[in-house]
Chains A and B, each alone.
Chain A
Amino acid sequence: MKYPVHEHGKFSVISLTGEVDLNCSPQAREQILKCLKKNNHLLIDLSAVEYIDSSGVASLVEGFQTARGQQLQFALLGVSKAALQVLQLARLDKVFPIYASIDDVDL
């Protein structure tokens, strides 16, 4: 699965969709790291995510830490309730910058 990417101001926006699980998370990880390799600030849109498992969250964690190392901005958009509960389980909701929508991001 290849997730859609578009540009918005200084950010690249990757929209994850459907079920981000063991089958799909390697692709999500690859796309996240690829964008960061290009030194792009990154927003991950989770509004269309129906389910995200630990491997999907791990991809977000790795992306966030990589972005921090490169002093790039990294944030999550439109986190669904299902995804938020998974983040909360490991207290990651307190770690990731989270915005309700792209309109709330300081471009």
Chain B
Amino acid sequence: MNTAAQVENNLPHQVAPDVVIDVKNLVTHYDDKLILDDINFTVNKGEIMVIMGGSGSGKSTLLRFLLGLNTPTSGTVSLLGKDITQMSAQEMYEMRKQMGVAFQGGALFGSMTVAENTQLPLREHTRLDENTMRIMSRMKLEVVNLAGFEDLMPAQLSGGMIKRAALARAIIMDPKLLFFDEPSAGLDPVVAAELDELILRLRDAMNMSIVVVTHELDSAFKIADRITVLDRGKILMCGTVDEVRNSGNERIHNLLNRKPRQDAVDVDEYMGRLTGRNIKGSLPD
């Protein structure tokens, strides 16, 4: 049960605010097209922030900036107090030791077993002995309910198992920051619910700060401490689950009620987009 003060501060899980992710005035373009427009939000220690939005809203692009995979046109992305947009490759390498990422498709190496995939960050970043690495890997596979599958190859796994193996790899180093791209996408409801439970347990047991990118409403409402709603590259709102549910914003309402886009159509702009030339262009012969 959240206290009134916690809700007022939009911090349902946190007692003392401790910002671990701070995005300020983030703007990015692909060529001339504006993709992310003045994005600002924070994530606190031990908090689950869900980034939600429809297809093309910019949420996966935003995730790439949080991971330091892209450089913005302007603005800053600070992780654990350090601006990653200005970091050298070596500094980013050190930062990545404290980050775990579970990509949507799993991104497991097809030529490695589940255990080898899971141990990969340990081999890259530590000098632990083989026994410790093997036990750590098996512990994480136990946590994600994949105990006994360590010798299988990724091609032998179901979609849900691949996501769980990817999660095991993402948490093998006990990262402070965990990023999870579309954990529920393509999974049956039972497996999706299991993954949601697991994300909550990781937050509670390890005090991880977790960013989940998803368009699955049920999952978002179940796990989020706060939700950032993106639409066409802009933040529509950032608030608690209740605040998002009760928002009077029409676009959020449409997203929550799965209503298709009903934008006013600009005929010139639309026809220009379809034909590849504006109204002043020459007509076809």
Contacts and interface: CB of A to CB of B under 8 A. Distances in A.
Given A54-B140, A54-B172, A57-B139, A86 B206 contact: yes
A47 interface: no
B132 A89 contact: no
Task: Give the interface centre of B139, B143, B202, B206 by most chain A CB atoms within 10 Å.
Answer: B139
Interface stretch (B72-80, B123-131, B228-236): B123-131
Contacts of B201: 89
Interface in A50-72: 53-55, 57-59, 61-62
Query: What are the nearest 7 A-B pairs in CB distance?
Result: A58-B135, A85-B205, A89-B205, A53-B174, A90-B139, A58-B132, A58-B136
A61 B205 contact: no
B16 to A, nearest CB: 16
Contacts of A85: 204-206
A88 B206 CA distance: 11
A91 interface: yes
A59 B205 contact: no
Given A54-B136, A54-B172, A62-B135, A90 B128 contact: no
B279 to A, nearest CB: 61
Contacts of B126: 22, 55
Contacts of B142: 90-91
A26 interface: yes
* Residues of B contacting A: mostly: helix
Interface of B: 126-129, 131-132, 135-136, 139-140, 142-143, 172-174, 201-202, 204-206
A90 B202 CA distance: 11
B173 to A, nearest CB: 8
A54 B118 CA distance: 13
A63 to B, nearest CB: 11
Contacts of B131: 58, 62
A59 B132 contact: yes
A53 B205 CA distance: 11
A25 interface: yes
Given A58-B132, A85-B206, A92-B139, 19 more contacts: A21-B174, A22-B126, A22-B128, A26-B127, A26-B128, A53-B174, A54-B139, A54-B172, A55-B126, A55-B128, A55-B136, A58-B135, A59-B132, A61-B135, A85-B204, A85-B205, A86-B206, A89-B202, A91-B142
Given A61-B139, A90-B143, A55 B132 contact: yes
Given A54-B139, A54-B174, A90-B139, A62 B206 contact: no
A24 to B, nearest CB: 12
B149 to A, nearest CB: 15
25 contacts: A25-B132, A26-B129, A26-B132, A29-B129, A53-B174, A54-B139, A54-B140, A54-B173, A54-B174, A55-B126, A55-B136, A58-B131, A58-B135, A58-B136, A58-B139, A61-B139, A62-B132, A86-B206, A88-B205, A89-B143, A89-B201, A89-B206, A90-B139, A90-B140, A92-B139
